[in-house]
Amino acid sequence: MTKVAENPLSARASVIRYWKAHVSGNLPPPPFLLSKASPLNAMELAKFTRIAAQNNLSSNSGSFCSSANLLYSLDNSKPGQDPNFALYSGKSFSGYGSSRIGGVGLFKNYSDGLNAAANSFNEYSGDSVAHTEEFKGYAKDVNFATDNFTNYGSGATGGSGDFTSYNGRVNVPNLGFILYDSDANSHKLSFSSYTEEANAGAEAFTSYGKNGNAVSSQFNSYSNDANNIRSDFTSYGVSGNAANNSFKGYGDSGNTPHNNFKTYGVGANSGIDKFTSYLDGANSGDDTFQSYTSHAIPTK
């Protein structure tokens, strides 16, 4: 196997040269020291050096920290100012926005065009009030996309989550919505143009909206023209009250879609589920409804 040569212009190469010339010519530099070398390439280094010289680095701190793999404190924005994560990628937002009142978190063109995007939104916006989350053009044209939304919006009151053009044209999407919007009250969720033209992936909605009150979920143009996508709705909306779920244009023109609804809406009270233009023009595939709305109390 051919060994890839070290870029002589990189910060890592500079550290190695200094170590050999001034510290030790025989012993290799410690991995800890090398890990602290900047991951910026020559072009990025020149770009941010110029920005820093103009005293504008603070206004570009998001893109700088993302490029340099630095931990960026997302709550350093001015009071009342909403965060904007445009062109950001591959970070963890666990616990972000918890108990926040009002405001908007915007993820636009986030993680677009990457080979492998792994993002975590565990307990994001939990117990928030009237907080809006917008994911627009999120992780489009990515090869391997892994997103984890465990306990996202748990206990939230009001507000909404909007996923528009999310994971479009992804090769292998792997999305997990576990206990998403559980115990929430009137927190509206919308999935529009979600995983369109995606290939060979899996989406899991486990205990989604559990014990929620008046939680509305709308899936519009979900997984259209996708190939071999598996969607599992397990214990979705269990024991929820007055939920309103709509599947419109879901899986249209897809190839070999697999949709499983297991113990969906069990024990729910006065909920509405509507399927319009579901899997129209889809090729092959299968749908399983097991214990769907079992023991649910119908709308009067």
Instruction: Tell me which residue has tokens 């993820």.
Output: 107
Residues 6+ apart with CB under 8 A from 161: 125, 132, 133, 135, 152, 153, 181, 187, 188, 189, 190
For residue 68, what is the enclosing H or E element?
A: helix 61-68
Name the token pair of 59: 């206004």
Q: Where are the domains of the chain?
A: 11-69, 83-290
pTM over 0.75: no
C-alpha closest to that of 254 among 234, 273, 277, 275: 277
DSSP class of residue 214?
S
Task: List the chain pLDDT tens, one digit each, 300 residues.
Answer: 555 566 776 777 877 888 888 887 678 888 777 776 777 777 777 888 888 888 877 767 766 776 766 655 544 444 445 555 654 555 667 677 778 888 888 777 666 666 666 677 777 788 889 888 888 777 777 787 777 778 888 889 998 888 887 777 888 778 888 887 888 899 888 888 777 788 877 888 888 888 889 888 888 887 788 888 888 888 888 888 988 888 888 777 788 888 888 887 788 888 888 888 777 878 877 788 777 666 556 555
